Amino acid sequence: MIQTPINSSYSIISKYIDIKTLFITLFLVVAGLVCVYSATISVNPDRFNRQLIAAAIGLVAMVVVSKIRIKDIKRYSFIFYIIIMVSLLGLFPFGSKGEFGTQGWYNFWGVSFQPAEFAKVALILAIANYLSVRGNSVDNISDVGKLSIIFLCPFMLIFLQPDVGTALTLLVLYLGLLYWVGADLYYGFFMLAFLAMFIVSLTASTTAILIVGGVSAVVLLFFRKKIYVYILTMLLIIGVAFVSDDIYNFLPIHQQNRINVFLNPETNLQGIGYNLTQSKLAVGSGGIFGKGFRQGNITQYRYVPMQHTDFIYSVPAEEFGFIGSVIIVLGLFYLCYRGINIAYQSKDIFCSLVAFGASIIMLFHIIYNIGMVLGLFPVMGIPLPFFSHGGTFLMSNLIYVGLIMNISGNKYRLD
């Protein structure tokens, strides 16, 4: 069968670059820029200009990362990790505070840089490097302890800024990578049960506490762990119910307010619940086809605070409606699917872990951010990939794509 010139050209190009991943990424970057433009141009055009510059730099970084030899990425992964840890430490004496008191940025001549975004990349590479060494395994308690130290260093430095949203993202990433290499799901379910108990304990509902405790006790029993492991994990789950108020009081006021809004969304609609209420109104008012580009009453009149960052999804939902917002969600999910599929096909554990880590961190951001905008999750500083305003965040997402594209061309060898 004779191939057409188009098919021949596609085959030749596809040997050098992952065309499917590239096209969907370009679509998401352009769609994100359109949404940021709509959300900011009438109030602060400079925000869009900065996002445009970040997109250009990020795309260049994506191409560069996609062409670096995998063995070089692996070789220098721990050096990169150490550099990022030093930059996180430096934030405490030299960092600048954001709107909510998080000391997570460096400012150089008017340009902001957030090391926590690159801490995600560093953690992926460091864990992938460690687990790719022959003999290292999640079945070995010593190796799990070392992996936990690698995770806890950036986690604690970011949590103490305090940036609870990014710290939670690192935790999900860590558990996801352990799952991908075959770690016991028992501990993943334990973490979910622990978090669920913490949340329901804040409601002071005895019934909810008993339900979560009972379900956890039954499900964990089916894993057939040693009795002392089972007892210890159940004590931790039950114990968090007694200290949930202390943990809650340790959080910054704005984090406490966000938890209050999630637990009681109908209260204080003109105060801390205002963002969530307005975002849900904007999403619902878009209807099927939307009101048109820059025609959304709620977002254009800026009734949704932070609509260019954490609540950016309300902009396309109102302007392009259900159909437009679904197209965006499908595009985001397809990119994550591409990454996970590439991770699955890779024959090298380092490559597989990097591709999966890059994909799972974007997937978590997508699910949590959209769920947050719809009122399904507590409001937290977890932005939407490629859409939320933030130069460092956009560049880090494009670096994830660069890693995925690199591994796509090296599924069967480490070179």
Q: Is it the case that residue 264 has pLDDT exceeding 50?
A: yes
Query: What's the pLDDT score for residue 107?
Result: 87
Residue 413 pLDDT greater than 80, yes or no: no
pLDDT greater than 60 at residue 268: no
Q: Under DSSP, is residue 294 helix (H, G, I), strand (E, B) or coil?
A: coil
Beta strands in 255-351 (DSSP E): none
- Residue 128: closest CA among 62, 174, 86: 174
Q: State yes or no: pLDDT of 85 exceeds 90.
A: yes
CB of 26 closer than 8 Å to CB of 335: no
Q: What are phi and psi of 289, to 5 degrees?
A: -105, -5
Sign of CA dihedral 404, 320, 315, 110: positive
Single-letter code of the amino acid located at 88: L
Q: Answer yes or no: is 332 within a domain.
A: yes
**Cα radius of gyration (the chain):** 22
Structural domain contains residue 132: no
Q: How far apart are CA 78 and CA 2, in angstroms?
A: 49
- Partner residues linked to 85 by β-bridges: none
Residue of 345, 385, 401, 346 lying closest to 121 (CA atoms): 401
Write down the pLDDT at residue 160.
86
For residues 163 and 353, the model is more confident at 353
Instruction: Determine the length of the chain.
Output: 415
Q: Give me the residues paired with residue 112 across strands.
A: 107
Q: Which structure tokens are listed for 137?
A: 């395994």
Q: What is the pLDDT of residue 270?
A: 52
Query: Please, is 92 exposed, middle or buried when counting C-beta atoms within 10 Å of its C-beta (0-12, 13-18, 19+)?
Result: exposed
Query: If you average pLDDT over residues 337-349, what whole number do you get?
Result: 94
Residue 1 reports pLDDT greater than 60: no
Distances from the Cα of 44 to the Cα of 37, 50, 169, angstroms: 10, 11, 29
- Model confidence over 284-306: pLDDT tens digits? 888 898 898 888 878 876 677 77
Alpha carbon dihedral 126, 131, 133, 137, in 10-degree steps, equals 150
Whole-number pLDDT of residue 341: 95
User: What are the two backbone dihedrals, phi and then psi, of residue 44, each rounded to the nearest 5 degrees?
Assistant: -145, 85
Residue 385 lies in a domain: yes
Asked if the model's pLDDT at residue 8 lies above 60, the reply is no
Q: How far apart are CA 300 and CA 95, in angstroms?
A: 33
Q: What percent of the chain is predicted at pLDDT more than 90?
A: 48
pLDDT at 394 over 80: yes
> 136 in a domain, yes or no?
no
Residue 105 DSSP one-character state: E
Whether residue 195 lies inside any domain: the answer is no
Residue 2 banded pLDDT, cuts 50, 70, 90: very low
Partners of 96 in the β-ladder:
105
**What pLDDT digit, counting tens, does each position of 27-37 carry?**
999 999 999 99
- Looking from the CA of 65 toward its CB, the CA atoms found within 13 Å total 27
pLDDT tens digits for range 93-113: 988 877 666 788 898 877 788
User: What residue has token string 């790719």?
Assistant: 132
**Residue spans of alpha helices (H) in 289-410:** 297-300, 314-345, 349-373, 391-408
User: Do residues 373 and 283 lie in contact, with contact meaning Cβ atoms separated by under 8 Å?
Assistant: yes
> The tokens of 252 are what?
């910054």
Count Cα neighbours of 249 within 13 Å in the Cβ-side half-sphere.
4
Asked whether residue 219 is domain-assigned, the answer is no
- Name the maximum alpha-carbon separation found in the chain: 72
DSSP state of 134: T
Find out whether 96 and 87 touch, Cβ atoms under 8 Å. no
By residue range, what is the domain housing residue 329? 37-118+264-408
pLDDT for 191 equals: 81
pTM of the model: 0.86
Closest by CA position to 254, among listed 93, 117, 97:
97
Is the distance from CB of 237 to CB of 194 less than 8 angstroms?
yes
pLDDT digits (tens, 9 = 90+) for 145-160: 899 899 999 999 998 8
Return the pLDDT at 185: 77
What is the average pLDDT score of the chain? 86
What burial class does residue 226 get, using C-beta atoms within 10 Å of its C-beta: 0-12 exposed, 13-18 middle, 19+ buried?
exposed
Does residue 381 sit within a domain? yes
Q: Which of 9-18, 334-343, 380-389 has the lowest mean pLDDT?
A: 9-18
Alpha-carbon torsion (240, 245, 249, 254), positive or negative: positive
Q: Which of 118, 199, 169 is nearest to 383 (CA)?
A: 169
Tell me the sheet residues that pair with 103: 97
Model pLDDT, residue 186: 82
* The predicted structure's pLDDT at residue 60: 96
Q: How far is CA 201 from the centre of its chain?
A: 26
Q: Is residue 177 part of a domain?
A: no
Structural domains of the chain, count: 1
**pLDDT tens track for 178-215:** 889 988 778 778 888 888 888 888 876 788 888 889 99
* Mean per-residue pLDDT, 77-85: 97
* Residue ranges with strand state E in 284-389: none
> Of 30-39, 80-89, 262-271, where does mean pLDDT reach its minimum?
262-271
Backbone angles phi, psi at 160, to 5 degrees: -80, -5
